[in-house]
A = this chain, B = another copy of it.
Amino acid sequence: MRGAEILARATWSALAEPGDAVAGALVMLVGAHESLVWVRQAVRDGPDFSRLEARHGPLVDADRARLGRALARWAVRLPDCDPLRDLERLDRIGGTLLTPGDPRWPTALDDLGAEAPFCLWVRGSADLGRSLERSAAIVGSRAATSYGERVAFDLADGLAGAGVCVVSGGAYGIDAAAHRGAVARDGRTLVLLAGGVDRAYPAGNARLLEAVVGAGGALAAEVPPASLPTKSRFLQRNRLIAAAGRATVVVEAAWRSGAMSTAHHAARLLRPVGAVPGPVTSVASAGCHRLLRDGVAVCVTDAAEVRELAGLIGADLAADPEAAADARVARPHDGLDPVSRRVLDALTRRVPAPLDRVASVAGVSVAEARGAVGLLELEGWAARRGDGWVLVARSTS
């Protein structure tokens, strides 16, 4: 990408609010630099739609009206836009400006179409393209319970241990626990901030954000350094988290919350969505259960299931916990055929039972009972005593 184009994208990231689809469409149509030249001229002399129509074909009235309204809002900010000042601020914290076309650009964000960010202002490891190849977003409430924070930490710990980059928003509660879990494993984690990357927000997580960078992770924002994290930017930031993760997992969320909006963004982008269940008595899990009930999310309970959800298959295919569980609770007579099992259940330790009695209790024929007690005797389960049969205590080694 030419330098002018990169600078124009940096400018656009200050000029348009995150998620401004009119700006995004204009940049897609004629490029960042040319669209900016057009905007400057339009603000000065009034819009010359013919230049756009030469590229796009005739504009309908609604498009002209949308562009007119957008120009009015861009005009307000245009005088304050100073990409060189913003880039200096980025330099001062050793940051990197990433734009599409850069080999380190996370192409997953292009799925946002006209709402894709113009650029990313990054602090820390700048190769986001590579980091996000194996990634999962973990999101949830700021008002998390200790259960939720523990699960978020454990999931992130497990994902980081498998080389998966944990994406979240750096907020208190679930977000922070997820970043912490990744950092504890010295794993990469990406914090997508609603404000500038030079602002530690929230302030209470400042040390955590430093630790993220120290562990090889990154902080990134689509707005320039020094930008304020406004409410609408928090909401728009959620679409970035949803697009950045190969899957999005909600750990705890109330009915209405940013995490729910992130989950729905992910679903709209056809990214898999997971929800961690919790006690039905906990309002902090109500959003997760709603996502499960509505079929928006799949139930996930550990890091392996998140990896499976994220399509990090092959070596990442979740080991069937049934096998492990079966091994754990395997019953020693699991290998027996159904008739032998019923005959085994019909025997008692103390009172020897004749064969016809055994058959009657078990509900099998005498011939079947005879075959079964023979087998059970060989296996050390049953013993003849007098005319009857008893159950034998067998060591379950």
Contact = CB atoms under 8 A, between A and B. Distances in A.
A346 B73 CA distance: 14
A77 B363 contact: yes
B325 A301 contact: no
Contacts of A17: 342, 363
Contacts of A92: none
B279 A363 contact: no
Interface string A70-112: 0011011100100000000000000000000000000000000
A298 interface: yes
Given A255-B326, A277-B277, A281-B150, A342 B75 contact: no
A151 interface: yes
A359 B73 contact: yes
A359 B76 CA distance: 7
Nearest to A75: B365
Copies of the chain in the assembly: 2
A1 to B, nearest CB: 25
A150 to B, nearest CB: 7
Given A73-B368, A279-B147, A363 B255 contact: no
Contact of A346 (B147, B151, B230, B256): B230
A365 B341 CA distance: 79
B280 A301 contact: yes
A356 interface: yes
A335 interface: no
A218 interface: no
Interface string A360-389: 110111111100000000000000000000
* Most chain B CB inside 10 Å of its own CB: which residue of A75, A279, A302, A345: A279
A61 interface: no
A265 to B, nearest CB: 17
A20 interface: yes
A72 B280 contact: no
A321 B285 CA distance: 14
Interface residues on A, range: 35 or more
A276 interface: yes
A295 to B, nearest CB: 9
Contacts of A32: none
Given A281-B151, A360-B80, A329 B255 contact: yes
A231 to B, nearest CB: 5
Interface string A129-148: 00000000000000000010
Contacts of A51: none
Contacts of A290: 321-322
A230 B301 contact: no
B298 A360 contact: no
Interface string A168-197: 000000000000000000000000000000
Given A231-B345, A277-B292, A293-B305, A365 B321 contact: no
A144 to B, nearest CB: 14
26 contacts: A20-B363, A72-B365, A75-B365, A75-B366, A76-B356, A76-B369, A77-B360, A147-B279, A151-B281, A228-B361, A230-B342, A230-B361, A231-B345, A232-B341, A232-B342, A255-B325, A255-B326, A256-B325, A276-B280, A277-B279, A277-B280, A277-B285, A278-B279, A286-B325, A290-B322, A293-B300
Given A76-B365, A276-B280, 14 more contacts: A16-B363, A17-B363, A73-B368, A230-B346, A231-B341, A231-B345, A232-B341, A256-B326, A256-B329, A277-B280, A280-B301, A292-B299, A293-B301, A299-B299
